[in-house]
Structure 1
Amino acid sequence: MRMAMIGLGRMGANMSRRLRRGGIEVVGYDRSPEVVEQLAAEAGMVPADSLEDLVERLEAPRLVWVMLPAGEVTEACIERLAALLDPGDVLVDGGNANYHDSQRRAARLAEAGIEFIDAGTSGGVWGLDNGYCLMVGGSETAVERLAPALRVLAPAPDRGWAHVGPVGSGHFTKMVHNGIEYGMMQAMAEGFALLHGKTEFQLDLAQIAELWRHGSVVRSWLLDLSAAALAEDQQLAGVAPVVADSGEGRWTAIEAIDQGVALPVISLSLAMRFASQDREGYANRLLAMMRNAFGGHAVERRSASGDSPAAG
């Protein structure tokens, strides 16, 4: 089997490596020629120096996997591929795309006779060794053609991947997966913050995290990762308290509003990420002024530089 991988970042490169380990030929392209050359030398990937070159190196019917950041980059790549591929070819988007975009792209490609698969992909940088969880949406015919690659990429040939439904369902399932992930991470972080704050007990957070990993109800991969981080540095002094959101938590909250489904934990975990990113703190400054106005409570004033508060 020969297929193409477009986008050789952390995920795309490791997926290419895993495919090669499983005996699948991979034609790879990335905007960075150095990355392409390195992966070709290391894993035996067939290098391509352009999308046109990549398509020419595949025999019809072709199988092309796109592993790029969601948004304009993926949109532009798929538009270019639509003009290069032939009827019967299969195009897979394994990035974190909005499922509405996936449905729209599938309809656009169908006009040219090109099959589209949306593959929600989870596993991160650990996927190379542990395998990836793959949530796949598309037609039965297209997914069957992709199945040999899915069996190699997954943790095992018979588990860790599934054809979950029609086009759009793969990225929809991955969206909800990430929303759940937000809530689990937030709960775990809050629990350890509470443990950290009980200074009178002098709790060893690394010990507790390791304890919970074995036999407890909350054992999980997220706990494994937290235990490893706490074993290295319990104070986390060098880490800024800013948590990014990749977009899927937002899409999950919007979907909940559209459906009228209550998602308090996921929605609040998303709000907490927004709060961690708020360097301006305008709402809290206005709250301080309200409290001062009705109750005469003291207001802390910023220093002239604006970097730290001064009592006032």
Structure 2
Amino acid sequence: MQLGLVGLGKMGGNMAERIRRAGHEVVGFDRSSPKRDVDSLEKLVQALDAPRVVWVMVPSGDPTRSVVRELGGLLSAGDIVVDGGNSKWTDDQLHAQELGAKGIGYLDCGVSGGVWGLQNGYALMVGGDKDHVATVQPIFDALKPPAQTDESGQELPAAGFVHAGKAGAGHFSKMIHNGIEYAMMQAYGEGYELLEATDLVDDVPGVIASWTQGTVIRSWLLDLLVRALDEDPQLDRIRGYAEDSGEGRWTVEAAIEHAVPMPAIAASLFARFVSRQDDSPTMKAVAALRNQFGGHAVRAVAAQEAERPA
């Protein structure tokens, strides 16, 4: 099968390679990558045989909207656009409507796998029309993890791919996946901090590594934490600063909209905001209040810090 791929960064570049290894043809375009096969979206479309399939892997928001809009002016009825980035599901609904008016199909595909996807395969959550999904299925099959078998050698039900529902369902599912990821990482991080805080435990990395086999909290994320501690046992080389790419916020917003209680994910999102503050104003207020009502001691700002200009 032939595929146009827009965006050849860490994810897109590896996906292109995995698809090629499966025997498909990929025509890649990226505005800055030297790995590109063509130097414009127009030339990418011209290089593909109709009906065309173009997969978009660029940052969510305006970059994706711009590419989809431009493709809408270049493609023809019967072609299909797949957004494999981290777009908000409401954007997918608009894109499906706008492209559908021109006879162009649209699929949203939440992709998980990170930089390890080239080796291990990617989990794919797809939204859109079932006929369009069927057209792109050979590419989905190339990207997803290989089939697993049970102890008798019998192939297990397909995993790593799902047609989640109508337009927007794929990115909505991936959004919730990432919200869960926020909470899991926060729990592992808090456990690590408490282990480091006590003088009872001599081998913190060893304890965490021991959890990777036979326990109910084992996971790939835990394996990655072990890897990080192998490289930097005290995590001295990195700051405790964590960005949020949007999906955590959207997950909490959706929870509010649907009145679904989501305290763990919400707390993990707000913890990331705290990580960006060198001296949290919130905790200053808490300390001041504790001092006012209970006479609890507060830690004064060092004189040299107090003298710094605002």
Deviations 1:8-34 (A, max 9, x none): 000000000000100010000001152
Q: TM-score, normalised by structure 2?
A: 0.91
Counterpart AA for 1:106 = A
Mapped contact 2:9–2:33 kept (Cα < 8 A): no
Tell me the number of residue pairs that the alignment of Structure 1 and Structure 2 aligns: 297
Name the CA distance, whole Å, in 1 between partners of 2:47 and 2:6. 13
Deviations 1:24-55 (A, max 9, x none): 1000000115232xxxxxxxxxx111000000
Matched, 1:231 2:230: yes
Deviations 1:67-116 (A, max 9, x none): 01101100111111110010110000000110011111111111111110
Aligned to 1:94: 84
Deviation at 1:214, TM superposition (A): 1.1
Residues 139 and 303 of structure 1: CA distance in aligned 2, closer, same or farther (over 3 Å): farther
Aligned to 2:28: 28
Q: TM-score, normalised by structure 1?
A: 0.91
Residues 288 and 80 of structure 1: CA distance in aligned 2, closer, same or farther (over 3 Å): same
Residues 283 and 113 of structure 1: CA distance in aligned 2, closer, same or farther (over 3 Å): same
Counterpart AA for 2:15 = M
Aligned to 1:58: 48
Aligned to 1:185: 185
Structure 2 residue runs of 5 or longer lacking an equivalent are 148-157
Percent sequence identity over aligned pairs: 46
Mapped contact 1:33–1:49 kept (Cα < 8 A): no
Deviation at 1:299, TM superposition (A): 4.9
- State which drifts further: 145-154 or 292-301: 292-301
- State which drifts further: 231-240 or 122-131: 231-240
Counterpart AA for 1:100 = T
Mapped contact 2:56–2:81 kept (Cα < 8 A): yes
SS at match of 1:238: coil
Aligned to 2:9: 9
Name the CA distance, whole Å, in 2 between partners of 1:86 and 1:21. 28
Deviation at 1:167, TM superposition (A): 0.7
For 2:62, which of 50, 62, 72 is the aligned residue? Answer: 72
For 2:106, which of 101, 116, 119 is the aligned residue? Answer: 116
Name the CA distance, whole Å, in 1 between partners of 2:146 and 2:184. 25
Aligned to 2:118: 128
SS at match of 1:201: coil
Counterpart AA for 2:252 = A
Indicate the RMSD between aligned Cα atoms, in angstroms: 1.8
Counterpart AA for 2:245 = S
Counterpart AA for 1:114 = I
Name the CA distance, whole Å, in 2 between partners of 1:10 and 1:251. 24
Counterpart AA for 2:21 = R
SS at match of 1:79: helix
Residues 56 and 209 of structure 1: CA distance in aligned 2, closer, same or farther (over 3 Å): same
Matched, 1:260 2:259: yes
Counterpart AA for 2:243 = A
Aligned to 1:284: 283
SS at match of 1:199: coil
Residues 76 and 197 of structure 1: CA distance in aligned 2, closer, same or farther (over 3 Å): same
Name the CA distance, whole Å, in 2 between partners of 1:87 and 1:283. 55
- State which drifts further: 186-195 or 111-120: 186-195
Mapped contact 2:84–2:109 kept (Cα < 8 A): yes
SS at match of 1:32: coil
Name the CA distance, whole Å, in 1 between partners of 2:284 and 2:189. 26
Deviation at 1:290, TM superposition (A): 3.6
Mapped contact 1:61–1:88 kept (Cα < 8 A): yes
Aligned to 1:146: 136
